[in-house]
Amino acid sequence: MSADAVIQEQTDVTGALYRAAMGAPNQAYYLRHFARFDAAGKTGISWNWAAFASPLNWLIFRKMWGLARWYALGLGLLLAALLGIGRFGWRYSSATAWALLLLFLLASSVLSAIYANAAYYRFCEKKITRALVANLGVHRACEVMTAQASSARRGWVLAGMNLIGGCLLVLVAVNSTGAQLLRRPSLSFAAPIPERADRALHVSAPQKSTAPAVASAPSAPAPAASATQVASAAPDASAAPAPQAAALAQTPAQAEPARPSPRYYIQVGAYAKKENARKVMLRLQTTDLEAHRQLVSTKRGALIQVRVGPLASRSDALVAAEQIKALDLPALLVKH
């Protein structure tokens, strides 16, 4: 008997029982496959797009609770094996673990789509048998199965639940990412000082060789010190220097013997935060001491060093140290 002939016969009792068992959604699709199975006397493979897109949702919509539980349990065990035990056993990366998981999910979706219609056919046959045995009548059995069958409203409710679950997952992912971003500043709190602060500190730092020498020379004005440094650092090979520039270039060498040696400094402290160094500088400005800041590199990272000096003699340095200690600040004598 052909499938078309079986469909014609299903207009009577068998068709009514099938329609009552499966419900209104996609009746024509499933009746066609059920007729083919009845004509062949056995089930076979076919393709079900709903079962391929979401096997677990399809099983829940069709109220196939037993298969739904086994499918969810299998997915849970697979997830634990790939992302937990398997990853530590074979030591593959997270990307490999997720790729394997997606591969297994695709394989399970394909198998579900191939055998979904056959599984639903057997489920409906068992449902019809239980209804006939319990109610002792075709009409009453159809009424009970129709009330229990899947409906379009059930599909919309299931879709809404999936949408809510997806939104919750997105919110959890966004919140975890935001928490990581908020924790990042605390991790980089002791980072090196920005480049602009470095340049500002270097400008205010004292020059150890050239600047003191030019300042001690009576004939060289303060603005000429930078010109002397530029002339000595990058001389022009094509043109001879002017007499005044040559005289200024020789001034540091001539004034070198007049530079006091050694010179003393009072180190007040070294600070990781620019704000702390600024507060110390403000307190030192209440005295007549010459204080300056300098950026130094240490094992702890970049620090802002605060010093007083240079001082001509040890006695002057000791007097300055007492003034600094009177401000409740540390004072360490350093000789250069």
In tens, the pLDDT along 21-63 reads 998 899 899 999 999 999 998 999 999 999 999 999 999 999 9
User: What confidence category does residue 267 fall into, taking pLDDT thresholds of 50, 70 and 90?
Assistant: confident
What pLDDT is recorded for position 226? 43
Average pLDDT, the chain: 74
What distances in angstroms separate CA 30 from CA 109, 116, 119, 150, one per listed residue?
A: 19, 11, 12, 13
List the structure tokens of 269.
């402290």
φ, ψ at 217 (rounded to 5°)? -75, 125
Contact 298, 270 (CB under 8 A): yes
pLDDT in tens, 191-203: 444 444 444 444 4
Which residue is it, tokens 């939104």?
A: 167
User: Of 175-184, 252-261, 278-287, where does mean pLDDT reach its minimum?
Assistant: 252-261
Query: Coil, helix or strand for 165?
Result: helix
Element (H, E) at 192: none
How many CB atoms lie under 10 A from the CB of residue 54? 15
Q: What is the pTM of this model?
A: 0.48
What local confidence, expressed as pLDDT, does residue 62 receive?
93
pLDDT-based confidence at residue 87 (cuts at 50, 70, 90)? low
> pLDDT digits over 292-317, tens only?
787 887 877 788 878 887 877 888 87
Contacts for 259 with CB less than 8 Å, ≥ 6 apart: 212, 213, 216
- The pLDDT, as a whole number, for residue 237 is 42
pLDDT tens digits, one per residue of 129-156: 888 888 667 888 888 888 888 888 888 9
Of 35-49, 70-84, 224-238, 272-286, the least confident: 224-238
For 171-189, what is the mean pLDDT?
Answer: 63
Domains present along the chain, CATH in parentheses: 3-150 (no CATH), 191-218+259-336 (3.30.70.1070)
Specify the amino acid at residue 58: W
Predicted pLDDT of residue 197? 42
